[in-house]
């Protein structure tokens, strides 16, 4: 792609790369272009990069928000060719090659769309009020307040039936987020806060994990799914498979087989919906809104646009889609950056190839499962791998150090220090 000359007929200006979203994909694309002869504008509606794999630990009082997030400006502060804008994208004018936000129009030569995904209720959006999902720091702190408030309200209640509902926690969705949430809530009730209350026994709390499919962790081999279920059950979690949620309100949930589970704390981890990027760029999308891209991550007819991460539907080379996980988004972000450099140099990029580094899920203290293809781990070895992998991928040395120290204290003392109730759940 040939860069345009400025209005004064001077030397060619540098190509402008606009990146929408500063998640794993967008941030890795920006960093990969740090020495490139381009100008970069990163647009995100928040001012921080979030390490989503540890968001459930904020929701269950294991970590504080600042430990898994870092300001985007700080990450890119030493990158002189990058500008950060905190703004919300409204549309993309592909004909004029311009991004339209609430405050401005941003012209681009290349566009990288990395706007991620949000949770979905499969057409039952009214359930969101009763069963919050987990995608942002605001979600995590609200869920933390909801969980801790359930124990506090049970402590002051004299109604045995209401206490039982308060001490029943339902997690909908048996993927990694649901499994990790359920295990963490069970450990919180049985090990962490059990000594804090006088009128209730928090260890009697009921934690139910509901999965519509035949087994939890469906992307893992069946043998590891079964091991994960046994580890959850040892923690006291009730695992219900092959049964979907049919109704959800303030009293709890009703399953498709008619089972009623009374609960004052229902949490949603059952599905995701991509951002509105497909509508912005006028591209075809799958049923969950992911942009259907070719092997070079381009939507049809737009070689200057790259769609990466959870926003993109791309083949993994084996007939299935690339999974919506952090390593995949990082690989796509780096690929998009290299493809831009190749295009500037007049070269044709090789097709994107996803490298699968494995699949991890933690169940609780010293319990996890890990799938590395030929090598499959469970229990304590998998838990160690999970810990070191997540520490490695955290952004910033300080965050790694603080999280490591918090985990060490939690391991030896069974303690979760961030047990704060804030916001609307305050009495």
Residues assigned a catalytic role: 180
Instruction: Tell me if 222 sits within 8 A of 252, measured CB to CB.
Output: no
Q: Whole-angstrom Cα distance, residue 147 to residue 245? A: 20
Which pair of tokens denotes residue 245? 């949620």
Q: Whole-angstrom Cα distance, residue 328 to residue 208? A: 31
Q: Whole-angstrom Cα distance, residue 253 to residue 260? A: 6
């Amino acid at each position: 792609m040939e860069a345009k000359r400025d209005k004064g007929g001077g030397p060619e200006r540098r190509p402008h790369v606009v990146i929408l979203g500063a998640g794993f994909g967008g941030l890795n694309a920006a960093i990969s272009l740090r020495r490139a002869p381009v100008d970069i504008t990163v647009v995100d509606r928040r001012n921080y990069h979030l390490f989503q794999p540890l968001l459930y630990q904020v929701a269950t009082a294991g970590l504080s928000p600042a430990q898994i997030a870092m300001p985007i400006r700080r990450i890119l502060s030493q990158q002189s060719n990058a500008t950060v804008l905190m703004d919300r994208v409204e549309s993309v004018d592909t004909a004029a090659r311009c991004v339209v936000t609430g405050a401005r129009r941003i012209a681009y030569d290349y566009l990288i769309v990395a706007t991620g995904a949000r949770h979905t209720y499969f057409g039952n959006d009214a359930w969101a009020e009763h069963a919050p999902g987990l995608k942002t720091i605001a979600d995590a702190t609200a869920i933390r307040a909801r969980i801790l408030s359930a124990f506090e309200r049970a402590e002051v209640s004299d109604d045995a039936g209401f206490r039982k509902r308060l001490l029943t926690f339902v997690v909908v969705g048996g993927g990694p987020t649901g499994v990790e949430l359920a295990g963490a809530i069970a450990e919180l009730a049985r090990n962490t806060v059990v000594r804090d209350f006088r009128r209730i026994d928090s260890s009697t709390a009921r934690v139910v994990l509901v999965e519509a499919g035949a087994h939890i962790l469906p992307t893992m081999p069946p043998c590891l799914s079964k091991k994960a279920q046994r580890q959850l059950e040892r923690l006291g979690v009730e695992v219900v498979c092959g049964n979907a949620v049919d109704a959800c309100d303030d009293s709890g949930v009703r399953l498709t087989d008619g089972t009623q589970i009374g609960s004052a704390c229902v949490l949603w981890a059952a599905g995701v919906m991509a951002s509105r990027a497909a509508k912005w760029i006028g591209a075809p999308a799958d049923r969950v809104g992911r942009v259907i891209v070719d092997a070079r991550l381009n939507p049809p007819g737009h070689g200057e646009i790259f769609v990466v991460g959870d926003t993109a539907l791309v083949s993994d080379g084996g007939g299935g889609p690339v999974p919506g996980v952090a390593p995949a988004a990082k690989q796509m972000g780096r690929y998009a950056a290299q493809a831009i450099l190749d295009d500037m140099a007049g070269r044709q990029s090789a097709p994107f190839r996803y490298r699968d580094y494995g699949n991890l899920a933690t169940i609780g203290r010293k319990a996890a499962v890990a799938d590395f293809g030929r090598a499959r781990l469970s229990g304590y070895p998998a838990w160690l791998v999970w810990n070191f992998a997540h520490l490695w991928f955290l952004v910033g040395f300080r965050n790694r150090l603080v999280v490591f120290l918090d985990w060490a204290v939690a391991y030896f003392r069974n303690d979760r220090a961030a047990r704060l109730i804030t916001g609307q759940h305050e009495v």
